[in-house]
Structure 1
């Protein structure tokens, strides 16, 4: 059953909060790996802070293949890293690198409000992942232009087929902070340009007494 998420106004700072939560778990001694990172395993507190839940611990055998494939029962296929299928490597369990892959899928999920590989059944999802075929870049309209180029680069780094090539959660947090600082700067620059253009259209005798708030109230 295909589920469509209804996060109509995703705040990128909440995705940063998820990344910080995973970084804390991975840096904990002993380390803790989540194993089933996805939107439905993120709760939002009354203060607007994301809280991780739904940790994966057990395993099962998927009988849908000609050969048995060991996958974590708590994991969810569209978010799972290729090595978790137990085909190419010994790293079929829960690892920090697998959490990183799932985080990238979760970020995409929250931006698009759809599950990764939306519209594909599990067999096709596994086939795409094992062939190294990643999700397509969504149209800007589908993410309300919030999935910027920098955010897409972060997601793409999370989906490196070789687990050793993926960034750590600490590096991801740093990249998100950098991406959001650029986004904030670009937004403030566009607002300033808009205000400057509005001032240029006003009669000269009224410019000195016009407040920023009144600009937004003009009809």
Structure 2
């Protein structure tokens, strides 16, 4: 097994590939062994988080050894920053890939079955070890260059074992709203690993259609829909196979007792359609450029978008944004600018470009164009600020839900 040093001076950062509400993820080269890995950075001074939460994230992950689970290489603290070293999945997340080239989902059921089989293999391993992932979604499903499927982000994973004894259920409301199972929201009897199966069913619908059910609603509206509406299904007016429809139905049973297990779903006729990793590589990854090139392409697209003086779409939609891994919370796109003229804030990152010598003689048209760009940037910052507020709102909703449930008991 390759050893990775516990000092950031032994690594050379290449480029950002993702960010969450409290962290950023970058690709990097280990200078000692020349292996390319990804590094998750969490600045505890800017984003105070409980070390117990991080210990929980790493404890099971560090002991995991499965081909469909993102590899964990170690972690260490320098100053106020925690660094988590992990496997580099160069093709990025399924969420990123869909946003770049497949906004309406994959029309190839073999691709969908192959992705879901990889996730099920990982879930079967996790569940058999008494763990729950609790945040299965396209943003946490990653692909490597060879087409292999990996699941990442164990930041909200939970154990069903305590003091050596298996517990019947968990009671904490946590996860991403669109993918939450009904029992996670009600907390009447707690929830088990079957909550991951529900999330997998929602993910299956998103892989086929391009969006999760209720994804355009506000968090509280989503929760009400999940609790009050019948389980979602694949659209009836689309030519999906009977096996695929049945697979989704097996996942999305309101009563978790009637929901299939990961082991059972691995034997489902739809999963029998799954191909090898090379099929994903040949039929899917060959249709999209590498993650770095995707990022540069989208930056150019956004530059052209700004030059044409277009206004921002509604909040539910976004102009082209960079492909990034998502490791926590609701997917939050950031909006790049390929030709900044001042300090530009993207989330909590700032990029500065010094003006060139010829900028003092700008024409009136150029000045107007710069003002328009600045207006667009300000609007973007407002959108990103609202997205951060949504993350905070999600935390408040969890607390309120728990409070209401405690009062009703």
TM-score, structure 1 as length reference: 0.63
Q: Does 1:91 align with 2:190?
A: yes
Q: Does 1:137 align with 2:230?
A: no
Q: Which residue of 2 aligns with 1:100?
A: 197
Q: In structure 2, what is the Cα distance between the partners aligned to 1:39 and 1:98?
A: 16
Shift of 1:183: 9.6
Distance 1:179 1:81, change over 3 A: same
Work out whether residues 101 and 159 of structure 1, in 8 Å CA contact, stay in contact via their aligned partners in 2.
yes
Quick check: which one's strand share is greater? 2
Q: Which residue of 1 aligns with 2:369?
A: none
Q: In structure 2, what is the Cα distance between the partners aligned to 1:136 and 1:159?
A: 8
Q: Which has the higher contact order (CA 8 A, sep 6+)?
A: 1
Q: In structure 2, what is the Cα distance between the partners aligned to 1:112 and 1:127?
A: 22
Q: In structure 2, what is the Cα distance between the partners aligned to 1:39 and 1:24?
A: 19
Q: Which residue of 1 aligns with 2:125?
A: 24
Quick check: which one's helix share is greater? 1
Shift of 1:125: 1.6
SS of match in other structure, 1:120:
coil
Q: Does 1:42 align with 2:117?
A: no
Q: In structure 2, what is the Cα distance between the partners aligned to 1:181 and 1:56?
A: 31
Shift of 1:14: 1.5
Detail structure 1 runs of 4+ shifted over 3 Å in the superposition. Answer: 7-10, 180-184
Q: Which residue of 2 aligns with 1:162?
A: 255
Q: Does 1:114 align with 2:240?
A: no
- How do residues 172-191 of structure 1 correspond to structure 2 at under 5 angstroms? 172-175=265-268, 178-179=269-270, 181=272
TM-score, structure 2 as length reference: 0.35
2:156 to 57, 68, 78: 57
Shift of 1:139: 5.4
SS of match in other structure, 2:246:
helix
Distance 1:81 1:50, change over 3 A: same
SS of match in other structure, 1:37:
coil
Distance 1:81 1:180, change over 3 A: closer
Distance 1:140 1:13, change over 3 A: farther
Work out whether residues 35 and 57 of structure 1, in 8 Å CA contact, stay in contact via their aligned partners in 2.
yes
Work out whether residues 128 and 134 of structure 1, in 8 Å CA contact, stay in contact via their aligned partners in 2.
no
Q: Unaligned stretches of 5+ in structure 2? A: 1-94, 159-170, 276-409
Distance 1:88 1:181, change over 3 A: closer
Q: Does 1:80 align with 2:180?
A: yes
Distance 1:57 1:136, change over 3 A: closer
Q: Unaligned stretches of 5+ in structure 1? A: 60-68, 185-219
Q: In structure 2, what is the Cα distance between the partners aligned to 1:103 and 1:125?
A: 17
Q: In structure 2, what is the Cα distance between the partners aligned to 1:98 and 1:155?
A: 14
SS of match in other structure, 2:142:
strand
Q: In structure 2, what is the Cα distance between the partners aligned to 1:56 and 1:148?
A: 35
Q: How many residues align?
A: 160
Distance 1:70 1:14, change over 3 A: closer
Q: In structure 1, what is the Cα distance between the partners aligned to 2:126 and 2:157?
A: 19
Q: Which residue of 1 aligns with 2:354?
A: none
After superposition, what is the alpha-carbon deviation per residue over 1:80-113, rounded to whole angstroms, capped at 9, x for unaligned?
Answer: 001111x252315xx2110011111111111112
